[in-house]
């Protein structure tokens, strides 16, 4: 089995050298990048197994690189560990909301970083090995993923491709709140001239199709001031 490839992104060469040396001692293959543009090009060209990504790098920021990874269908599942001198909880939350799998602050223990890399890779491999669900059922709502069909209490409902994608995304992450901007990123991607209000319109149409009472939804819930979520499964 070939060694796992780790992309290490930091503009401090000493830190990159330190991490790379220790990872190579542990049997990993290391790709290095000192700025955001080089990091993004390496992600696309090298297809690493995990990225250790500094927040404060020249050019494209680490947060933006993480956002780009999560919006690109070809690499959006790539595990990312944020590495930064910033310890503000807001920065940590922002990084995790953008899709980082873990977060470690400088100064850091190289042994701890390697342990976290191994842990994230294990979680990722376990997720890949898990059977992909054929469907989802909750309180009379059934989603069949292979056929892209939806039924409520046994009755088929007609959804547009976008509405189905929105329902599938939210139902796949029950209880997690997503802002309009996050949903635009996930469902509309790089499409130009799409406004946050578009999300509200599609949620309204989706509710009209699947909710027994669209004024009192039980599936797609509004979290005031934050966004939308699929109901908690309990």
Residues 33 and 94 in one domain: yes
CATH number, position 61 = 3.40.50.2300
What pLDDT, on a 0 to 100 scale, did the predictor assign at position 190? Answer: 64
Residues 65 and 174 in one domain: no
- Out of 113, 129, 145, pick the residue that ends a domain: 129
What pLDDT, on a 0 to 100 scale, did the predictor assign at position 27? Answer: 94
Residues 20 and 115 in one domain: yes
Within a domain: 140: no
CA distance 117 to 132: 24
Residues 106 and 166 in one domain: no
Phi, psi of 139 (to 5 degrees): 50, 50
Residues 173 and 119 in one domain: no
pTM above 0.75, yes or no: no
Query: pLDDT, tens digit, for every residue of 98-131?
Result: 778 888 888 889 999 999 899 889 877 765 544 4
CATH number, position 204 = 1.10.10.10
What pLDDT, on a 0 to 100 scale, did the predictor assign at position 218? Answer: 96
CA distance 94 to 98: 6
- Out of 105, 129, 153, pick the residue that ends a domain: 129
Q: Whole-angstrom distance between the N-terminal and C-terminal Cα of the chain?
A: 42
Q: How confident is the model at residue 91 (pLDDT cuts 50, 70, 90)?
A: low
Residues 120 and 171 in one domain: no
CA distance 211 to 21: 56
Residues 122 and 181 in one domain: no
> What pairing do the DSSP bridges indicate for beta strands 220-223 and 227-230?
antiparallel
- Domain extent for 32: 5-129
Q: How confident is the model at residue 15 (pLDDT cuts 50, 70, 90)?
A: very high
Distance of CA 225 to the CA centre of its chain: 22
The count of domains in the chain is 2
Q: Is the pLDDT of residue 29 over 80?
A: yes
Burial tier of 105 (Cβ tally within 10 Å: 0-12, 13-18, 19+): middle
Report the mean per-residue pLDDT for the chain. Answer: 87
Check residues 82 and 207 and name the one with the higher pLDDT. Answer: 207
- The helix (run of H) or strand (run of E) holding residue 60 is none
Within a domain: 217: yes
Check residues 104 and 37 and name the one with the higher pLDDT. Answer: 37
The mean pLDDT value for 69-82 works out to 86
Residues 185 and 98 in one domain: no
């Amino acid at each position: 089995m070939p060694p796992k490839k780790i992309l290490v992104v930091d503009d401090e060469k000493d830190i990159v050298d330190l991490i790379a040396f220790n990872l190579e001692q542990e049997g990993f293959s290391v790709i290095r990048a000192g700025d955001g543009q080089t990091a993004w090009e390496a992600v696309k060209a090298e297809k690493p197994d995990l990225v250790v990504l500094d927040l404060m790098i020249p050019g494209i920021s680490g947060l933006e690189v993480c956002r780009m990874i999560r919006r690109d269908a070809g690499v959006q599942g790539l595990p990312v560990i944020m590495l930064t001198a910033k310890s503000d909880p807001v920065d940590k939350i922002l990084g995790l909301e953008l899709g980082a799998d873990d977060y470690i602050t400088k100064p850091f223990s190289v042994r701890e970083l390697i342990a976290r890399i191994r842990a994230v890779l294990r979680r990722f491999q376990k997720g890949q090995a898990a059977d992909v669900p054929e469907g989802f059922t909750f309180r009379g709502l059934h989603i069949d993923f292979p056929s892209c069909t939806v039924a409520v209490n046994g009755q088929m409902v007609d959804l547009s491709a976008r509405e189905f994608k929105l329902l599938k995304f939210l139902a796949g992450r029950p209880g997690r709140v997503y802002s309009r901007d996050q949903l635009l990123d996930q469902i509309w991607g790089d499409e130009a001239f799409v406004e946050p209000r578009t999300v509200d319109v599609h949620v309204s149409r989706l509710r009209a199709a699947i909710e027994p009472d669209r004024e009192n939804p039980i599936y797609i819930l509004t979290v005031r001031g934050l966004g939308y979520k699929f109901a908690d499964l309990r």
